Amino acid sequence: MTTQNELKQKVAIAAVAEIEPGTLIGVGTGSTTNLFIEALAQSPIRHEIIGAVPSSLATEAKLKSFNIPIADINDGIIRVYIDGADECNHHCELVKGGGAALTREKIIAAISEKFVCIIDESKYKLQLGAFPLPVEVIPMARSHVARQLVLLGGDPVYREGCVTDNGNHILDVHHLNITQPIALEEKINNIVGVVTCGLFAKRGADKVLMANNAGVQVITPR
Ligand code: 5RP
């Protein structure tokens, strides 16, 4: 029986093949992405990329530890963005933000030509919402945002001790019934004080690589 970590490793290695020489890549945040960085560091393609745009300070540090050149989003077009997810459905809509990096991840996903999401099969769901939805909030607006999220049917829980790379706080919203991810993403993002929510539905993944015992499956939006 393959462990979850072995599946993450398998999909991380497969993702290296998504990189084209002579391009800028975006790199997400989390344990799957960390394994991707390790696979990239061992691949000859590392010497052929212009640079890697990190979605968090943690990812930047990890890339630097392997001497992979860091770039920023003003350095050019990002050809491919590679990142994990907490949940994914068959439309390649995602829940992200378990690692609190959702805002920078969403910016990089939005401006990248292609977003390849890498998951193990435990993340693949018929309906999103079992994983509490992370919402990044401006600290002074936290209680207001929490009340609005309750009106949307959720149970927001303040993520104790978590300060994002942008100096903000996270509310993890439990028990949301996410039947219309795009509509809910828009509603939550429109609440005053919300920086962004962890629904990646308006700009979902273009391609999901999902590892299971049989290998790495490719899922494209239906
Ligand atoms: C970080 C994220 C991660 O992609 C998500 O939490 C999945 O993490 P992991 O690969 O550790 O399971 O969105 O903000």
User: Does 147 lie in the same domain as 121?
Assistant: no
Reading phi first (left if > 0) and then psi (alpha if -120 to 50, else beta), residue 66 is in: alpha
Do 18 and 106 lie in one domain? The reply is: yes
Query: What is the extent of the structural domain holding 82?
Result: 4-126+202-219
Pocket test for ligand 1, best of 27, 96, 196 (most atoms within 8 A of CB): 96
Backbone torsions φ then ψ of 99, nearest 5 degrees: -100, 10
Distance CA 89, CA 91 (A): 5
Confirm whether residue 155 is marked as ligand binding. Answer: no
Report how far Cα 60 is from the mean position of its chain's Cα atoms: 15
- CA dist list (Å): 161 to 28, 148, 190, 209: 22, 22, 25, 32
Q: Is the CB of 165 under 6 A from ligand 1?
A: no
Q: What is the CATH classification number for the domain harbouring 190? A: 3.30.70.260
105 in active site:
yes
| Domains: count for the chain | 2
- Residue 60 and residue 55: Cα distance in Å, rounded? 8
Ligand 1 atom nearest to 32, measured from its CA: 10
Tell me if 83 is assigned to a ligand binding site: yes
- Chunked mean pLDDT (size 10), the chain, 222 residues: 94 98 98 98 98 98 98 96 98 98 98 98 97 98 98 98 98 96 98 98 98 97 92
Tell whether 119 and 174 lie within a shared domain. no
What pLDDT, on the 0 to 100 scale, is given for residue 177?
Answer: 86
CATH number at residue 90: 3.40.50.1360
Instruction: Indicate whether 21 and 39 sit together in one domain.
Output: yes
In the block, tokens 């378990």 appear at 98
E strands present in the chain: 24-27, 51-54, 78-83, 87-88, 94-95, 114-120, 133-137, 155-158, 169-174, 194-197, 199-200, 207-212, 215-219
194 and 207 belong to one structural domain:
no
Together in a domain, 106 and 150: no
The predicted pLDDT at position 1 comes to 73
